Structure 1
Amino acid sequence: MTKLLKWLYVANVVGALLYVAVCLPKLMMGTPIYPGQAGLLGQVTAGLLLSLLPLGSERLFHFRFPLVLKLIYEVFILCSVLLGTGMQFYNIPYWDKFLHLFSASMLAGLGIAIFCALTPKARLKTTSPLLIALFAFTFGTTIGVFWEFYEFTFDGLLGLNMQRYMAGGVALAGRAALMDTMGDLFADVFGALCLALLAYFQSKKDVAFLDAFKFSR
């Protein structure tokens, strides 16, 4: 798995650098490859930095993220920033919903990691698997809700369309205006639920399953 993680780091870093190397000159020549190219370049550059965030945090604070969470995180950054935003994969039907499923599962896993870090080791062995699963589910879905708050806020402040409440520059009305947001929330709930159920049944069978989600030094 560590070899896979290295390849994901390479894909994110080299992919972002190649994107900038190809798209920036085209933008400067006045023939951008994608609409809104300047903004996309900024987001891809930010994605490059985000892909290195776990590695930098580990070296700075002298701890280790769970390997499984790092793998999911790097895949998410690759699919959401370089492919989704930079190369416009968000235009592919349900690409966004797939990423919401993926990110909610990742966040539920992070919830388990936080729960394990805050619970004494001796007590963790006797903690109800249902409590752990409920915490993971709640954590994953709550962050998804806060993300929708973020999209709603900046759609209003900056005139964006992250919540897809407009089509062809015209504001949608009624149920149509809610479809994207509600679809995202359904995906968040289902993604977090899948990880929570996995954690419940696996930790009920063997509490050592939780070791895969623990921070280490």
Structure 2
Amino acid sequence: MLNNRQRVYMICANLFRLLLLGAIIGNVLTKNWLNLFTSILTLALTYLPTFLRDKNYIYIPPVFQLITLVFIFASLYLGELNEYYLKFWWWDIMLHALSGVILGFIGFVLIYILNKDTKVNLALSPLFIAIFSFTFAVSVGGLWEIFEFTMDSIFGLNMQKSGLVDTMWDLIVDSLGALFSSTMGYIYLKRRGASYLRNLVRSLLSRDGINKEE
């Protein structure tokens, strides 16, 4: 039985996939092979949250699956296929800032879980955890820029837009988003203040919502 959040995710996922199927058909009819490749890639990536949920030991709540799905749709379908990167100057900046924040949080959660796991002999300081979350996000951002360069070089795409300038600004914005997440994580660990982050960690640790955090 699906709960309300899972229903919302399924509705959004199926709606996005219908739009992508329409884009695939349109690209085949117009023989736009580059956009066809992007459409198929985006369609495949919409199944990524479900794949990670089924294969990963860490449960991914529906809200995180939806965030991932929306990000993929906004970056590839709206950004690449509908040229939002060209229509709106702030579109690329917004997505990279969000990716930095999200990846920084993911890095924080990963090392936070290891630090709390009694089976793993780790005793990390809040500063180290914050540094790890920051470098994790920046590293993934760097890998994405390598992916963009590879796609442009092999398939003749224009993912890098203005080349080096675009790449550097993307990395800068990624770093700022990562800095925000790591700073918030550091403040949380030092002050033990508001429990929003703790609730998010709990939801990732337990499929049925039972608190496994000591």
TM-score, length basis structure 2: 0.75
Residue 12 (structure 2) pairs with residue 24 (structure 1): no
Preserved CA contact (<8 Å) 1:104 1:140: yes
Distance 1:110 1:62, change over 3 A: closer
Report matched runs for 1:143-182 at 5 Å. 143-165=140-162, 178-182=164-168
Q: Percent identity?
A: 31
Larger relative contact order (Cα-Cα within 8 Å, sequence gap ≥ 6)? 1
1:102 partner SS:
helix
Question: Counterpart in 2 of 1:55?
Answer: 50
Report matched runs for 1:8-87 at 5 Å. 8-21=9-22, 24-25=25-26, 27-28=28-29, 32=30, 37-61=32-56, 63-65=58-60, 69-87=64-82
Preserved CA contact (<8 Å) 1:140 1:188: yes
Question: How far apart, CA to CA, are the structure 2 residues paired with 1:26 and 1:54?
Answer: 26
Structure 1 segments of 4 or more deviating over 6 A? 123-126
Question: Counterpart in 2 of 1:204?
Answer: 190
Distance 1:79 1:4, change over 3 A: farther
Distance 1:66 1:119, change over 3 A: farther
Distance 1:149 1:16, change over 3 A: same
Letter in 1 for 2:8: W
Letter in 1 for 2:44: L
TM-superposed CA distance for 1:73, in Å, is 1.4
Preserved CA contact (<8 Å) 1:109 1:136: yes
Larger deviation, residues 78-87 vs 52-61: 52-61
2:130 counterpart (123, 130, 133): 133
Question: Counterpart in 2 of 1:191?
Answer: 177
1:119 partner SS:
helix
* Aligned residue-pair number: 199
Question: Counterpart in 2 of 1:112?
Answer: 108
TM-score, length basis structure 1: 0.74
Letter in 1 for 2:173: A
TM-superposed CA distance for 1:124, in Å, is 10
Q: Unpaired segments of 5 or more residues in structure 2?
A: 208-214
TM-superposed CA distance for 1:23, in Å, is 5.9
Question: Counterpart in 2 of 1:95?
Answer: 91
> What's the C-alpha RMSD, in Å, of the aligned pairs?
3.2
Q: Unpaired segments of 5 or more residues in structure 1?
A: 166-176
Question: How far apart, CA to CA, are the structure 1 residues paired with 2:63 and 2:190?
Answer: 20
